[in-house]
Amino acid sequence: MDTRRWSVDKIVDNLQSYPQIIQASDQLIKNETVAFPTETVYGLGGNAQSDEAVSKIFAAKGRPADNPLIIHIAERSQLEAFVESVPEKAEKLISAFWPGPLTMIFNKKVGALSDLATAGLSTVAIRMPDHPVALALLKKTGLPIAAPSANSSGKPSPTTANHVWEDLHGRIAGIVDGGPTGVGVESTVIDCTEDIPTILRPGGITKEQLMEAIGEVRLDPALQDSEQAPKSPGMKYKHYAPDAPLYLVDGERAFMQKLVSEKRKEGLSVGVLTTEENKNYYDANVVITCGSRADLRTVASGLYDALRQLNHENVDIIYGEIFSTEGVGAAVMNRLIKAAGHRIITN
């Protein structure tokens, strides 16, 4: 398949009228797959009402069919067409965080969407992205668009169009290049079908922000690696992994350097995933930074790009630092633990 690439300046006016947006939306209307930027990561979009389009998403990514997709909408008025009801707490979250990096789980309206998109579940995950290119594309199609991250399943999510090209060139109809994304980790997913809303995936909106808006929320026990069927993307399978095995190190810098030195003596090429504060400390084959420990938002934004850089260096093993789980750190550590396959070395 010939993958087209459309460049769009996200700060221009009347994006819906731009030829690139029109051409990309035409592909989506024809049930083809198109990658596009959101404020979190690039998504791989397809018509959520079409089994044909949704099947193409799963095929392009190599994604397990029991892993549900997030449905993207452009207008609050679209919501009732796809869900049975909107609980009061969900309305408060919509007012506070839409458009934005928050996905909400609702009881779905039967027959409104492809069952493939929801993996046969009785619920559906929906969000409204906070990115002008994404919103222009969604509005132009007039469709609900299913859009998981636009990467090969299990690999680091894409935060630039080049990342998408690396993984999916020749497997999708096109890529809308709107520049690098901002937040860098995927949206927070919260289940609004229960009396106490439950965080299924930490992300760009923190637990603290959610509690400020609606009061009590809880964390799903499935975040501790449950084998139950996932209500949310990212709950069941290994995700975000670089090519080389990643080990997280819970200990002092000297302990991690000891691990690095031991592997190098064995003749292995060792990569280190660290922060700006510590980049000059480690003696390794490759040292890659993902942001500043003083501002974990920069770590969230730079994490996936750092993991992809390590892939390009062809290292044999990677050691990575751990972070606080306060605020957006919860999302950072969730992604790192999944990328490492739960491999954590403690001093």
User: How far is Cα 344 from Cα 323, in angstroms, rounded to an integer?
Assistant: 12
For the stretch 146-181, pLDDT in tens is 999 999 988 999 999 999 999 999 999 999 999 999
Binding site annotation covers 123? yes
Residue 75 burial (CB count, 10 A): 12
For position 196, which CATH number holds?
3.90.870.10
Binding site annotation covers 147? yes
**Based on the domain organization, do 212 and 254 belong to the same domain?**
no
**Based on the domain organization, do 108 and 211 belong to the same domain?**
yes
Binding site annotation covers 40? yes
Binding site annotation covers 72? yes
**Based on the domain organization, do 122 and 220 belong to the same domain?**
yes
Sign for the CA dihedral angle at 328, 134, 42, 126 comes to: positive
Average pLDDT score over residue span 23-48 = 98
Last residue of a domain, one of 194, 224, 254: 224
Model pLDDT, residue 209: 97
**Based on the domain organization, do 279 and 183 belong to the same domain?**
no
The pair phi, psi for residue 311, each rounded to 5°, is -60, -45
Local confidence band at 13 (pLDDT 50, 70, 90 cut-offs): confident
Residue 176's H or E segment, with its range, is: strand 174-177
How many domains would you assign to the chain?
2
What is the number of alpha carbons within 13 Å of residue 296 lying toward its C-beta? 17
For position 251, which CATH number holds?
3.40.50.11030
**Based on the domain organization, do 37 and 143 belong to the same domain?**
yes
User: How far is Cα 203 from Cα 335, in angstroms, rounded to an integer?
Assistant: 9
Q: Is residue 58 part of a domain?
A: yes
Least confident range from 10-19, 172-181, 255-264, 296-305: namely 10-19
**Based on the domain organization, do 163 and 22 belong to the same domain?**
yes
Q: Is residue 234 part of a domain?
A: no
Local confidence band at 238 (pLDDT 50, 70, 90 cut-offs): low
Binding site annotation covers 90? no
Binding site annotation covers 171? no
Residue bearing the bigger pLDDT, 287 or 236: 287
In 3D space, the residue among 148, 93, 91 whose CA is nearest the CA of residue 125 turns out to be: 148
Binding site annotation covers 281? no
**Based on the domain organization, do 315 and 188 belong to the same domain?**
no
| Residue 226 clears pLDDT 50, i.e. is over it | no
| Residue 237 clears pLDDT 60, i.e. is over it | no
Binding site annotation covers 269? no
Binding site annotation covers 347? no
Q: Bin 164: left if φ > 0, else alpha if -120 < ψ < 50, else beta.
A: alpha
Binding site annotation covers 18? no
Three-state DSSP state, 116: coil
User: How far is Cα 276 from Cα 265, in angstroms, rounded to an integer?
Assistant: 26
Going by their DSSP bridges, the two strands 34-37 and 42-47 should be labelled as: antiparallel
User: How far is Cα 263 from Cα 174, in angstroms, rounded to an integer?
Assistant: 42
User: How far is Cα 222 from Cα 219, in angstroms, rounded to an integer?
Assistant: 8
Domain that holds residue 154: 4-224
**Based on the domain organization, do 163 and 250 belong to the same domain?**
no
What residues contact 162, with CB distance under 8 A and at least 6 apart?
Answer: none
Binding site annotation covers 127? yes
